[in-house]
Amino acid sequence: MTTVQFPNDFKWGTATAAYQIEGAFEEDGRGASIWDTFAKTPDKVLNGDTGDVACDSYHRIDDDIRLLKELGVSVYRFSIAWPRVYPQGRGELNPLGLTYYEELIDKLIANDIEPFVTLYHWDLPQALQDEGGWENRSTIDAFVTYAETVFHAFNGKVKRWITLNEPWCISILSNYMGAHAPGKQDLQAALDVAHHILVAHGLTVKRFRELSIEGEIGYAPNTEWRTAYSSSPEDVRATQLRNGSFNEWFLSPVLKGEYPELLTSWYESKGYKVKFEPGDMDIISEPIDFLGINYYTGSFIRYAEGNDLYNSEEISSSFAKTDFDWNIYADGFYNVLTWISATYGQIPIYITENGACYEAELQDGKVNDEARISFLHDHIMALHRAIESGVPIKGYMVWSLMDNFEWAFGYSKPFGLVHIDFETLARTPKASYYWYNQLASSNQLEI
């Protein structure tokens, strides 16, 4: 057996998000978010599931920390729920909303686990959505105020911050495809949201610098890798449009100060455009310290007139699939990482999410999720190849520490290293948990 070695200071971790794990939806003054509303709207979430209880992590800090400690990770990525801190989105601060995070952060540090904090993982306060949400520019200021409050509360304890998780999901998936809260189907609204969240990101980074908050700040776009089905000019162009709309649309404004021209002219030819205000691109491109990258899947793309917005179709038949029916494409992970470095330069990267849904059952106290191990193995090897190719990757976080509320799919799609029984909330480490423990403790992968 051959092994490959990761850099000495490489960080291994796991990731979660507030609405997916916390529960305690009405406790200690928490306000409603767009996900409370969406989940309680008939037919939006499978089986009518909600995050009301989720993994009950709000009441189980010690259990969750023990799981992290025994897993041997050095970093834990979680998100803060804006509606706990400002129940109405702005205005009156709810100090109790910070207490849970303070205890979590203090206990993580006491256990030598670095807290890696996301400010926005999709739970916009409903009160702001009632005023137009991210389509309304005034939400930007509300976000910056919320971010400042959290920076002051945890300055010196948290050393790495993420402004936004997955801007493509916040904008296109939620406002054009309608699959996530608030469930709109309007491309112009989605482009407005995309622009406003990027401005909110940039202004937050500026405030972070102005306030001299300790540590580093970045954001976490989701990436996918599409390969042209053939070298025909039609397939190549369709693929450029798909990769451009997913990857470049959210990377180039921040890292190059511009939207990709291919896409702006494409959208304009269809009657849609970005609505700029003076100075927006300077704000958006305020330099960041690191890039968080989430990667799950990819596909082949073929030209298909009229099939979708980009005249393209996905050809997926030759890929093995996870239990979410997502293509397994580990080489795509390598391609994305090397492409980012080649296109945007040597910005440090943390893999802030990578993982897979597999529905292995709990039997005799064990969950044998070999398929997840194999998925992680192949992706971590692709990651190692990218490091060896010179991409400055500093850490890797599995999605997710535990099975949780998988958005529109409720509790039906488990991604965890730890199994959750959603009746009893009992936590049972899976085979992949022990496998990952080996990797994190040895800093070596057997290949």
Binding positions for ligand BGC, rule: CB under 6 A: 17, 20, 165-166, 169, 222, 294, 353, 399, 406, 415
- What is 93-132 written as a DSSP string? --THHHHHHHHHHHHHHHTT-EEEEEEESS--BHHHHTTT
- We find the least distance from the C-beta atom of residue 273 to ligand BGC, in angstroms, to be 27
- Which helix H or strand E contains 381, and what residues bound it? helix 370-388
Q: Which of 157, 254, 278, 167 is nearest to 202 (CA)?
A: 254
Q: Which is nearer to ligand BGC, 240 or 400 (CB)?
A: 400
3-state secondary structure of 365: coil
- We find the least distance from the C-beta atom of residue 117 to ligand BGC, in angstroms, to be 14
Question: Of residues 135, 248, 313, 353, which has the active-site annotation?
Answer: 353
Question: Of residues 166, 224, 286, 406, which has the active-site annotation?
Answer: 166
Contacts of 305 (CB under 8 A, 6+ apart): 311
Q: Which is nearer to ligand BGC, 229 or 405 (CB)?
A: 405
Q: Which is nearer to ligand BGC, 303 or 415 (CB)?
A: 415
- We find the least distance from the C-beta atom of residue 54 to ligand BGC, in angstroms, to be 12
Q: Which is nearer to ligand BGC, 304 or 326 (CB)?
A: 326
Residue 370 among the catalytic residues: no
Q: Which residue has the tokens 């990436």?
A: 223
* Amino acid letter, 287: P
Q: Which residue has the tokens 């003054």?
A: 29
The Cα–Cα gap between 421 and 423 comes to 5
Q: Which is nearer to ligand BGC, 313 or 353 (CB)?
A: 353
Provide the sign of the torsion angle of the four alpha carbons 23, 26, 30, 31, taken in this order. Answer: positive
Distance of CA 272 to the CA centre of its chain: 26
10 Å CB burial of residue 53 (0-12, 13-18, 19+) is: middle
Tokens of 214: 């300790």
Q: Are 11 and 395 in contact (CB under 8 A)?
A: yes
Q: Which is nearer to ligand BGC, 166 or 314 (CB)?
A: 166
- We find the least distance from the C-beta atom of residue 268 to ligand BGC, in angstroms, to be 28
Residue 305 among the catalytic residues: no
- We find the least distance from the C-beta atom of residue 163 to ligand BGC, in angstroms, to be 14
- We find the least distance from the C-beta atom of residue 389 to ligand BGC, in angstroms, to be 25
- What is 53-75 written as a DSSP string? STT-GGG-HHHHHHHHHHHT-SE
Tokens of 297: 């899947």
Antiparallel, parallel or unpaired: β 444-446 and 393-399: unpaired
Active site residue ranges: 166, 353
